[in-house]
Structure 1
Amino acid sequence: MTSLFSPGVQQTLDLIGIFVFALSGGLLAVRKNMDIFGICVLAEATALGGGVMRDLLIGATPPAAFSNLGYFVTPLVAGLVVFFLHPEVERINRAVQTLDALGLGLFCVTGTVKAHDYGLGSVASVALGMLTAAGGGVIRDVLAMEPPSLLRWDREIYAVPALVGATMVAALIAVGRLTTLTASSAALIAFVLRMFALKYGWRAPRAWHRNGSRTSEE
């Protein structure tokens, strides 16, 4: 795989992103009144689901989530943190959202690069970059029997920043300009877009000329 960062830095960044994604899964499990097993399952699914789906689709088996013990254990640690300290974690939700946005930016970049390294074209690589960043959240919501937040109009945009970051990476690869600096810039832009969405309540537009009088659908 194309090396954007040194192995130690890449591992650290991955584990931070995985840990924060897992916290969000664990918190949803607590809100759903799940037991410790459910908390850990949602933590694992949220943190690793997108990467596992990407690896299975591109034929990178066994998935990194299962070949690297640190990747698999980290969500369990996050699940235990939520189990014992969920009120405290809820209180720092803004910090969790910020780190989550950082993970989104990182994973949309690394997911796109890995898909390209396995021979996929630009469009498919972008799609799998976005899947890497946002797929775990969809699995989390489905397991918790919630409408996926990715598809809800009343939630701030999440997939769009990942799509922008992944598209930038694919374009950089196409013109031979992908470096650690340019990849970091793409991750930063995805991060900033997500943070602006949280701050200003940015949402994707709904159907053109949609009849807004039917409040029961809102």
Structure 2
Amino acid sequence: MHAGLNLLVLALFPFALATPLAKRAVAYYAPSAGGGSELDDAGSGGGEPLNVIISGLSSPDVLTDDGIVNFAHALGYSKECLDKHSGAAQSANLGDGNGWVDQLIEIREDYGSSSVGTCLESLVGGNHFRVWRQNGASADSGALFLAVSKEKSATDNHDIVANGYNIGRNLLVSAAVGKTSYGDYTYSTTAENITGLLAAGSDGLNHGIAQDGIVTLLTVTIV
């Protein structure tokens, strides 16, 4: 009788067996090691640098789709204006076996309003970033690769400002490091600058804007 009851319980409550999110074993894999690139494809003959990585050793809830959005809120960023994306999506190859895939999401500076602030950013410009997840079978770190830059206003076609890749990265990192919070989550974030993933200079860069070759690795822990 007890065995039958146990089977019934399992049938009614399958979520009891669900495996909780677990940390990956590595921070990230270098995309170039698997035939990928630290530049995305902007669709205009050039790419934008993947200049920030959210480490796969971060708290697992940060690395989900909802998790990166909530973390972005804590830094003063939100999803696009009215959840509408203008322009074509960019793609990236993270060397994980998935090939070139479109960005998961684009997130913009929200000027203090998580509901409508990104509409202002779309008009006057500001910081923004695109997100990809490294989760293919050959390099499953779970890390999030971000292409961060500061852009001009809509009247300037959202071109990147001078030195906008370095500026954009530094603004995002500055906002992230230390303790931040949004909703029910508080984050503790550390940063490490990585060289060797991205060549310094302007070769292959969208708009011909040079960058310093630094990729910042953020490890984000929910506390």
Q: Give the TM-score, by structure 2 length.
A: 0.31
Which of these two proteins has the greater Rg computed from alpha carbons? Answer: 2
Q: Give the TM-score, by structure 1 length.
A: 0.31
Q: Hey, which of these two has a bigger chunk of helix by percent?
A: 1
Q: Hey, which of these two has a bigger chunk of strand by percent?
A: 2
